[in-house]
Structure 1
Amino acid sequence: MTRLRAGVLGAGAFGRIHARKYAEDTRVHFVGVYDPDDERADQLADTHGAESFGALDALLKEIDVLTIASPPSFHAANARAALLAGKHVLVEKPLATDAALGAELVAIAAANKCVLACGHQERLVFDAMGLFSAPERPTRIESVREGPWTGRSADVSVTLDLMVHDLDLALKLMGRSADRVSATAHAEHGKAADQIVATLGFGDAEAVFTSSRIAADRKRTMRAVYPSGEIRIDFLARSFENTTSFPLNAAFAETRIGADPLGANVSIFIDAVLGVAPRPVVNGEEALAVLKLALDVDRASGLPSHS
């Protein structure tokens, strides 16, 4: 079997993980990486016996699939270049930082028959739990996703950096778009929000999201209230409490997908490119819906989405 040729744009923390996942997959030949920081790109390439490219165009000529793990402000331009070159693309979240640019990516991918996927891999955690098969819709969701300042993804708001995960999960759980959005936010390191609390309405249901990248400690939790009970999830402890009758998998963290959702997301992206899976975990259209909602949250807060 001819192996897919894969590349990674961005040699930071997430780029290194994606490179390792490609290098470990027997269906893939990891060709190399491009990063404006030559030293960082060289180190990552050397780790996997791959090539460090001096420009994105040079990398695109040698690959079939590309992970984009650059700062979020560059996601759209880099994905556009790759899709126009006929490459299948997995973009780390968010899909873009502008709704029109995100919509353009979806259109180009469809026109060129390319797979366009996004890195909202928290969906796979819920899938491993069995939560998406619940026979009820939540009446209320409360989520907290916060941690100390790292400087990573500081070019965009904490909404586009962290809250996008919970927005995606809420859209999937609620099964509909939000019809009411309000938010309050605080900026400390730039113009965009570093801390934000958003309240969203989904018909008769409500969701409250808290995200911060200037908190004292890391916290990743969600409480989902259903007519028959509630589920409290601790993403860091990889555990949950369940008072509903839903037959959820308490050992989800021990499953292949639950143990490594990012790796599973990359694997399913490859499946979709090879035609083994009908679609990636989160496709371009779904990622665009999350992006639009995140931008609505920032607008409601009165702060910009870009620093």
Structure 2
Amino acid sequence: MGESLRGGVIGAGVFGGYHARQYARLDGAVLSAVFDRHPDRAAAVAMPLGGRAFTDLAEFLDAVDVVTVASPATCHAEHALAALKAGKPVYVEKPIAVSLADAEKVRAAAAARGLALACGHQERVVFRAMGLLDIPEQPLFLEALRHGPPSERSRDVSAVLDLMVHDLDLALAMSSAEPVTAESEGERGAGGVWDVIRSEVTFEDGFTARFDVSRRAPERRRRMKVVYPSGEVEIDFVTREFRNTTPFALNRDFADTPAARDPLGASVQGFLQAVRGEAPRPVVTAEEAIRALDLALAVEQALEDAA
């Protein structure tokens, strides 16, 4: 396989730690460096995995071959652009940026240099393991619920860009139609940030998708129902209950597959394969991530319009 790729992670928070451990364990990669403006945090993530801690971004970039951006969402574009301009392939956690203009800059920088660029909508790995992305019918209706208890994580963005963007991306992956309208209502939390949102998105072919997210729920709940012309699929991702009345063979035991047990690992592995030329693309491309961001921003705008 040749020399191992030196992996670097920008951001030493919870997700930065997850990504650092992936580089440390995956074949063909090592965890080389972690960058964070707080030296103690960088060292706490890097050193147990054999990596070095950096507080200088330029020095960090000199020490790595590939970069994961796991900093706060409002810093994603800045850090991704710095890594790409240094010639490093980039895996950026979702969302790819917090504005379309910045997202396009990131996409263009990667394209201009011929560098692999992946985005961390890794739940597509789970849906692929289930077989849901291979159903040959277009969905008629989707209902997604994603609730979790309060957390200090991702407080720099709304629950749309923190939670709902996952299900927006999945809806876009399941339908070939384009979204045309979004209607939203919600409740703001601390600092005026939207923490509870209900949104309905209509697609050009009549497909309707309803999304319900909360960062103030008493317990974790995550469910999805998809209606097709031939039947319905309903999944409770917490209890693992699965119902399929379509004629299409889906894997009801998807949660036990290696990919579904570690979707982040499969997503990072897909990125590394794209970097080495072993795969034509990562699991989620920049273009797909930008579509999800575009729809998320439309949901946010609908929230502001209704406020």
TM normalised by structure 2 equals 0.96
- 2:280 is matched with 278
Residues 170-227 of structure 1: per-residue CA shift (max 9 Å, x gap): 0011122201111011101122211111100012110000111111111111100111
- Structure 2 gap segments, 5+ residues each: none
Write the distance in 1 (CA, Å) between the matches of 2:154 and 2:238. Answer: 20
Q: 1:303 to 1:16 in 2, by over 3 A?
A: farther
Secondary structure of the corresponding residue to residue 107 of structure 1: helix
Write the distance in 2 (CA, Å) between the matches of 1:132 and 1:204. Answer: 19
- 2:246 is matched with 244
1:222 to 211, 224, 240: 224
Residues 256-306 of structure 1: per-residue CA shift (max 9 Å, x gap): 2111111100011000000111100111111011111100100011179xx
Aligned-residue offset at 1:236 = 2.5
Q: 1:239 to 1:262 in 2, by over 3 A?
A: farther
- 2:136 is matched with 135
Aligned-residue offset at 1:62 = 1.4
**Greater CA deviation, 193-202 or 53-62?**
53-62
Aligned: 1:27 with 2:20: no
Secondary structure of the corresponding residue to residue 190 of structure 1: helix
- 1:179 is matched with 180
Residue 245 of structure 1 aligns to which amino acid in structure 2? P
Aligned-residue offset at 1:69 = 0.7
Write the distance in 1 (CA, Å) between the matches of 2:116 and 2:99. Answer: 20
Secondary structure of the corresponding residue to residue 282 of structure 2: coil
Contact 2:67 2:91 in 1 (8 A): yes
- 1:14 is matched with 15
- 1:260 is matched with 262
Secondary structure of the corresponding residue to residue 146 of structure 2: strand
Q: 1:238 to 1:69 in 2, by over 3 A?
A: farther
Contact 1:191 1:303 in 2 (8 A): no
Q: 1:239 to 1:90 in 2, by over 3 A?
A: farther
Write the distance in 2 (CA, Å) between the matches of 1:17 and 1:238. Answer: 24
Write the distance in 2 (CA, Å) between the matches of 1:109 and 1:301. Answer: 32
Contact 1:145 1:220 in 2 (8 A): yes
Aligned-residue offset at 1:237 = 3.1
- 2:44 is matched with 43
Secondary structure of the corresponding residue to residue 232 of structure 1: strand
- 1:206 is matched with 208
TM normalised by structure 1 equals 0.96
- 1:86 is matched with 87
- 2:69 is matched with 68
**Greater CA deviation, 233-242 or 62-71?**
233-242
- 2:299 is matched with 297
Contact 1:139 1:205 in 2 (8 A): yes
Secondary structure of the corresponding residue to residue 93 of structure 1: coil
Aligned residues: 304
Q: Runs of 4 or more off by more than 4 Å in structure 1?
A: none
Aligned-residue offset at 1:154 = 0.5
Write the distance in 1 (CA, Å) between the matches of 2:188 and 2:109. Answer: 35
Contact 1:192 1:303 in 2 (8 A): no
Residues 149-170 of structure 1: per-residue CA shift (max 9 Å, x gap): 1011011010000000000000
- Structure 1 gap segments, 5+ residues each: none
Contact 2:38 2:55 in 1 (8 A): no
Contact 1:141 1:222 in 2 (8 A): yes
Write the distance in 1 (CA, Å) between the matches of 2:305 and 2:41. Answer: 33
